[in-house]
Amino acid sequence: MFLHSKDVVHGCLDFSSVVLDRHLNAKTIISASIHRTKSSRAACRGKVDDVFHNGDLVSAPSKYMRISEKGMKLVEYMFATNLRFPPTIGRVRYNDWIEECDENPPVFIMFPH
């Protein structure tokens, strides 16, 4: 399922959600699960701010990741609760992000099922 940044969030962020730019050429994954990478220990706990691009863990936020501070707080909330919350709660929190879309160019977020 693809959601544009101006759509209302229904459901929750998956532990391996993929963030794509408007040209669909970004392959950035926000991970909150166990992961294996060359640059880290064999098995370590991922964090909400761990960002992978083309399969590699990047030390700085990906240039493809256009997300506001309030938007990131939404991500952190969704990961922390790991729940499908009522759309009304999502709408209120997500609108805070939408208001900042001029400062943060739109992205597409794919929620795997």
pLDDT in tens, 75-95: 555 555 544 433 333 333 444
pLDDT in tens, 41-80: 433 333 334 444 445 555 444 443 344 455 555 555 555 5
User: Is the pTM for the entire model greater than 0.85?
Assistant: no
The token pair that represents 39 in the structure block: 């640059």
Q: Which of 34, 51, 31 is nearest to 42 (CA)?
A: 34
The token pair that represents 8 in the structure block: 């209302």
Q: What is the DSSP letter of 44?
A: E
Name the average pLDDT for the chain: 42
Alpha-carbon distance of 82 to 13, in angstroms, equals 8
Percentage of the chain lying above the pLDDT 90 cut: 0
Name the domain count of the chain.
Answer: 1
For residue 23, give its domain range.
2-110
